[in-house]
Structure 1
């Protein structure tokens, strides 16, 4: 369940940030901020759904899924195919996120 929530949160965060990018960097209408802010609010709410004892761990593990989504965005939305270094770095981050979220903890 956590992975699905993280994927939804990552897509919402990237979409929200991209709306600001479109407005500021591409010179589009300020109206882009309305769905952008809504998307960022959705992102924040989704992160609260993750089953984790501490917010910091939930956010740290989320970072790895965000990197996966950002590399996917690079390819799907920007038309830039990830190279092997993008993929290797993404894999390392995903492993780190899994360790942070699901690693055994001592009481």
Structure 2
């Protein structure tokens, strides 16, 4: 898979996971209708499927790399959906996490390790 394809898979996974979790959050914490759980669960199922498309032979490595993307996407959600701009510490932490994710996903590996 190409780098743009990998980024697209992880971005879509992050969007679907955050949207699914936000649906549950909205129901439990914001008083939204329990009907929010229907698209929320569908979104979480899509998230799980999308992670199977990640370019890694090992699930744990794919999930670990995704973690950095999830953190950065969560900060974007904070800003665009919740209306709270991330501060310098948020942005610094997000960049560090993305660097870590790139190292995990794209580091050269020897066969069998």
TM-score (norm 1): 0.98
Q: How many residues align?
A: 107
Q: Which consecutive aligned stretches of 4+ in structure 1 deviate over 4 angstroms post-superposition?
A: none
Name the structure 2 match of 1:6.
10
d(CA) in 1 for partners of 2:32, 2:55: 38
TM-score by length of 2: 0.93
Structure 1: which 5+ runs fail to align? none
Aligned to 2:53: 49
CA deviation vs aligned residue, 1:48-77 (integer Å, no higher than 9, x gap): 011102000000000011011100000001
2:7 & 2:61 partners in 1: Cα distance?
Answer: 14
Note if 1:97 corresponds to 2:101. Answer: yes
**What displacement does 1:2 show?**
1.1
Q: Distance in 1 between matches of 2:32 and 2:62?
A: 34
| Aligned partner of residue 27 in structure 1, secondary structure | coil
Alpha-carbon separation, structure 2, partners of 1:48 and 1:35:
20
| Structure 2 residue corresponding to 1:67, chosen from 51, 59, 71 | 71
